[in-house]
Amino acid sequence: MSKRLQGKVAFVSGGGTGIGAATAIRFAQEGATVVICGRRQSPLDEVVARIRSAGGTAEGVQADVGDEAQYVGAIEAAARRHGKLDILVNNAMAYTWGALEGMSTADWHANFTTSVDGTFWGTRTAMKLMKANGGSIINLSSICGVLGTAWMSGYSAAKAAIINFSRAAAAEGAAAKIRVNVVVPAVVETPATAGMLADEASRKGTERLIPMGRVGQPEELANAILFLASDEASYITGAALPVDGGRSAVLVTAL
């Protein structure tokens, strides 16, 4: 490994499973000290153990990204323990689904607390911590924030908000050498998508809509996040990078 993140301190939310876990592992492989957070301690411990067994440095902190005090406190405490914060990945999300006409206001709001509020709280905190030395913030959106998705109006609105919020944050952070970018996945094989990929027919139906003919893997998203976190992306800010097998590039795909 080239150790592209040697000496860096990174914080990854939702780091116990899926894209967050893959990102934490990838960062550690590249030399970063990685702090991951999530609502459940057990998955965090498993990821930390895997990183440490491979010779990396990591710790897991139980914190609910949908709770401002918990999330901000976790990031600030990590920066104090390690002397700085170089990279923040706002990956945690929560969503509800269902027809718009039957959606309650509570269900609507549930899409925003973790995904949008958490991204705001994390970005605001990181920008304060990175003000002296610069840094990289990567926020996770979704293809649902780019293309309209039936039955997921709240989630779609929340993920769209993350993209434009990140552009504004990038404009504000640029003078302090703080880069803010977005990664935009489509269907990735994680615990969150297990239901829609549960049987062969469902999986094939999903894959037919993807030009590359398959769903993404968490490690493929982690590689894109790593690039944006690294100095190799030193002149990239305010970007929204699709990592979706070409799904967002096509209007329709022949079945």
Residue 1 has pLDDT above 60, yes or no: no
Distance CA 71, CA 40 (A): 14
Q: Which residue has the higher pLDDT, 208 or 118?
A: 118
Q: What is the DSSP string of 134-168?
A: -EEEEEE--GGGTS--TT-HHHHHHHHHHHHHHHH
pLDDT in tens, 138-181: 999 999 999 988 999 999 999 999 999 999 999 999 999 999 99
pLDDT at 192 over 80: no
Given the residues 71, 95, 155, 235, select the one marked as catalytic: 155
Domain chopping of the chain, boundaries: 9-243
| Tokens at 246, concatenated | 């070409």
Asked if residue 88 lies in contact with residue 118, where contact means CB atoms within 8 angstroms, the answer is no
pLDDT in the model for residue 209: 85
pLDDT at 193: 60
Average pLDDT on 201-230 reads 90
Examine the residue annotation and report whether 71 is marked as an active-site residue of this protein: no
CA distance 55 to 99: 48
Q: What is the structure's pLDDT at 204? A: 82
In percent, the amount of the chain with pLDDT more than 90 equals: 85
80: pLDDT strictly greater than 90: yes
Pick the CATH number of 9-243 from 3.80.10.10, 3.40.50.880, 3.40.470.10, 3.40.50.720: 3.40.50.720
